[in-house]
Amino acid sequence: MQLISWNIDSINAAVQHQSVRGEMTWDVLNKIAARQPDVFAIQETKLKPTGMTKKQTTILSELFPDYHIYINSSTARPGYSGTMVLSREEPLEVTFPKISAPDTMDIEGRIITLEFDNFYVSTVYTPNSGSALARLEARGAWDDAYREYLQSLDAKKPVIFSGDMNVAHEEIDLKNFKTNRKSAGFTNQEREKFSALLDAGFTDTLRMKNPDTPGIYTWWAQISKTSKINNAGWRIDYYLVSDRIAAQVSDSHVLDTGLRQDHAPIALEINI
């Protein structure tokens, strides 16, 4: 089974591809379609509460024919956040869970979960702690609630979950760790919450396969013109699985996006 996950940073920008960066995003989307993943999870869709436009639906359906498409859009702020999952197999059930998160996080379209016969597949767009760490406390409450939610799934069936989790777990997971210790995504609190998630019975698949390999990143800041060229990135996108199926993972890696900055897609191959 092949799964791909990607923070696309706007479905509309991808399908319109009217800028250099938009063309790059469109190219990556086409390469993913050519791989025909069993499940393709997308974060930061930035769709309206009503979902995709007719044009967006047509284009995605042409790229991914015969896929079932599920959308969770933000109703807190239109064109903000949002997730989507495309699945070749129709799941038993699809849920858009609310996890009793603080602030407006529960209505920002951040989670979609698909239930299959023997496992769950879920995707998440974890809230960013924001500039000046204004949302750090709420983010911590989110992490606790999200961990409890995953544990509730794991008690029933193994879970495969992915997404932009907005945290670099260890120093190996970002280039400039010394200067980012108080930055959103690398605070002690966020890192400790991710450790607690792993301790709750889940495995970081890429690090399992590459325990000591430096320089593997999934995000490069757009504000710096040389971040991708110099590989000055962060690994903040993950595929995690229940510990009891971790041995069934055959590969976990980052897809090459060339010179495109921002997020890169991640891929998981698992025998399940």
Strands 120-125 and 159-164: parallel
Residue whose structure tokens are 């920002």: 108
Residue given tokens 């399992």 in the structure block = 208
Q: Closest by alpha carbon to 47, among 21, 23, 69? A: 69
Give every CB contact of residue 188 below 8 A, 6+ residues apart in sequence: 181
| Beta carbons of 222 and 20 less than 8 angstroms apart | no
Q: Which residue's structure tokens are 């896929």?
A: 67
Q: Would you state the structure tokens that stand for residue 242, as one six-digit string?
A: 């229940």
Cα dihedral 140/144/146/149 (nearest 10): -170
Q: Exactly one of 38, 106, 164, 173 is catalytic; name it.
A: 164
Q: How far is CA 16 from CA 46, 60, 198, in A?
A: 14, 12, 38
Q: Give the SS3 label for residue 35.
A: helix
State both tokens at 117: 């016969």
Calculate the alpha carbon distances from 44 to 202, 220, 229 in Å: 24, 16, 24
- How crowded is the C-beta side of 93, counted as CA atoms within 13 Å? 9
164 is catalytic: yes
What is the helix (H) or strand (E) element at residue 142, kind and residue range?
helix 136-154
Q: Which of 67, 70, 120, 125 is catalytic?
A: 125
The count of residues in the chain is: 272
Residues that are catalytic: 125, 164
